[in-house]
Amino acid sequence: MENTSKAMIKARNVNVYYDDNHAIKNVDLDISSGTVTALIGPSGCGKSTFLRCINRMNDSIPSCRITGSITLDGQDIYDKTIDVVQLRARVGMVFQKPNPFPKSIYDNVAYGPRIHGFARNSAELDEIVFTSLQKSGLWDEVKDRLDTSGTALSGGQQQRLCIARTIAVNPEVILMDEPCSALDPIATAIIEELIEELRSRFAIVIVTHSMQQAARVSQKTAFFYLGEILEFGDTSEIFTNPKVEKTKDYITGRYG
């Protein structure tokens, strides 16, 4: 962890409990901008839970309790003075199942800028929708039917629409919770390309079950096991030369 000074998000000694269930144990993790950080590990190891701590999506679960600190640009996101609504706009999220709003494609992308008051007039809003759709690589496919329902798109297009919707509010971090698990290989490849393109502008954290995907898209990889990070480092290092036996077993497919 040589570049901790550049890290946008620093998690220190994070513990998460669901009632008595200790889901995350003493996790330290640094996430830097310009990097894709992959969280891998067997099912139920806490990677999604950890991901949802970064934008406080776990707040809505009453039994969930979090200790330790997570900072975004040096600010503790669990501090009382932090506005959760703003935090979630700064730390956007793309979900496992594409979940566009049952509104038009345009309204899906324009929703975030509208509620946060980013556009002063409709021309500015049009511009935001245009750039967001273009960044997510969807513009050419939907430019003629912006008023059709977002739910009428194919699964891969829906997921890219969700990404466009997220980047329309100018987040600093994008969290992706298995964004390709509901998609076919072609749609997956398009999304992976997109992640590579977005990397320069956003810090991206991606949870994935696919080793190949983690190897393809990420620069850093954290291996979660039973709520702990067993190994964290450069992706190339982890996949070619894992230091921990468990990591090696997992990435070679002994279990998982």
Partner 1 sequence: MTDKDLTSKSPWTTEAMQKRLKKRYRKETAFKAVGLSGLLIGLCALAILVISIFTTGLSGFKETRLTIDVYMDPAIIKAAPDLDEDARIAHMAKVNHRALIRNSLRLSFPDVKSRRDIMALQRLTSNGARDEVRQALIDDPTIIGKTIPMNLRASSTVDMYIKGQISRDVAQSSRKISDKQLVWLDKLNAEGRIVKGFNWIFLSSGDSREPELAGILGAAIGSLLTLLVTLVIAFPIGVATAIYLEEFAPRNKWTDIIEININNLAAVPSIIFGLLGLAIFLNVFNMPRSAPLVGGLTLALMTLPTIIITSRAAIRAVPPSIREAAIGMGASKIQTQLHHVLPLSLPGILTGTIIGMAQALGETAPLLMIGMVAFIVDVPEGILDAATALPVQIFLWADSAERGFMEKTSAAIIVLLLFLVLMNGLAIWMRHKFEKRW
Binding site residues, partner 1, CB under 8 A: 55, 57, 60, 62, 85-90, 92-93, 95, 97, 99-102, 111-112, 115-116, 149, 151, 162, 165-166, 169
Question: Which tokens go with 34?
Answer: 């310009």
CA-angle at 216, arms to 237 and 240, nearest 5°: 25
Q: Which is nearer to partner 1, 49 or 221 (CB)?
A: 49
The minimum distance between CB 215 and partner 1, in angstroms, equals: 27
The minimum distance between CB 119 and partner 1, in angstroms, equals: 15
Q: Which is nearer to partner 1, 113 or 242 (CB)?
A: 113
Amino acid letter, 85? V
Question: Which tokens go with 200?
Answer: 């320069």
The minimum distance between CB 90 and partner 1, in angstroms, equals: 8
Q: Which is nearer to partner 1, 90 or 248 (CB)?
A: 90
The minimum distance between CB 135 and partner 1, in angstroms, equals: 16
Q: Which is nearer to partner 1, 39 or 93 (CB)?
A: 93
d(CA 250, CA 256): 6
Q: Is 64 left (phi over 0), alpha (psi -120 to 50) or beta?
A: beta
Q: State the angle between helix axes of 105-116 and 155-167 in degrees (0 to 180), rounded to the nearest 10.
A: 20
Q: Which is nearer to partner 1, 175 or 191 (CB)?
A: 175
Helices (H), the chain: 47-54, 84-90, 105-116, 122-135, 139-142, 155-167, 185-198, 211-217, 235-240, 245-251
The minimum distance between CB 200 and partner 1, in angstroms, equals: 23
The minimum distance between CB 74 and partner 1, in angstroms, equals: 21
Q: Which is nearer to partner 1, 17 or 95 (CB)?
A: 95
CA-angle at 25, arms to 24 and 29, nearest 5°: 85
The minimum distance between CB 102 and partner 1, in angstroms, equals: 4
Question: Which tokens go with 209?
Answer: 């079950």
| Phi, psi dihedral angles at 135 (to 5 degrees) | -60, -35
Q: Which is nearer to partner 1, 87 or 211 (CB)?
A: 87
Q: C-alpha dihedral over 156, 84, 222, 16, to 10 degrees?
A: -120
